[in-house]
Amino acid sequence: MVWGLYLLNRSGDHSPLILPLTWRTMSNYNINKGIGRTVEFKGLKAQYLFIFAGGLLGVLILVMVMYMAGVNSYVCLLVGAGGASLIIWQTFALNGKYGEYGLMKVGAKKRHPKYIICRRAVHRYLKFTSKSNAL
């Protein structure tokens, strides 16, 4: 356990700088509340956790690429803060609107066909066997 951090001067004629470090306990976050229940963290459930984490990771990578490309740091800071705020806002809005399984239901409904097209004649789908071949 580290209780202090000693920083030495290069010249060596001054006393070292001591930075006291306070002991903090790790905060406990309940991620799963029981067996058979879905994962929940700070109100976000199921797939919204992955949307949240992936969105924030995407914003982080975008800001890093912009910074390495030479964009002004204030612009990078604004894009990062704005993007992260947008991701947080939209994720919690989707979680509140659709709930735990609603977003998957909306996606499944969009992929469900409205009607089935039958291009062949009906007798082609039916198979008739004679009585002698049935046994």
Residue with tokens 């509340």: 33
Of 83, 47, 51, 50, the C-alpha closest to 64 is 83
Rounded Cα distance between 99 and 106, Å, is 11
The dihedral of CA 64, 69, 71, 73: what is its sign?
positive
Task: Domain count for the chain, please give it.
Answer: 1
Within-domain flag for 89: yes
The whole-model pTM stands at 0.55
Rounded Cα distance between 87 and 52, Å, is 7
Please, what is the average pLDDT of the chain? 77
Relative to beta strand 40-41, strand 4-7 is: unpaired
Within-domain flag for 93: yes
Within-domain flag for 43: no
- Judge residue 52's burial from the number of C-beta atoms within 10 Å of its C-beta, 0-12 exposed, 13-18 middle, 19 or more buried: buried
Q: Express each pLDDT in 35-86 by its tens digit.
A: 777 777 777 777 888 888 999 999 999 999 999 999 999 999 999 999 999 9
Domain that holds residue 89: 72-99
Indicate the range of 3-7, 31-35, 103-107 predicted with least confidence: 3-7
Residue 96 binned pLDDT confidence (cut-offs 50, 70, 90): confident
Within-domain flag for 62: no
What six digits make up the tokens of 112? 């469900």
Relative to beta strand 40-41, strand 17-20 is: unpaired
Within-domain flag for 91: yes
What six digits make up the tokens of 54? 């992936």
Contact criterion met (CB below 8 Å) for 48 and 41: no
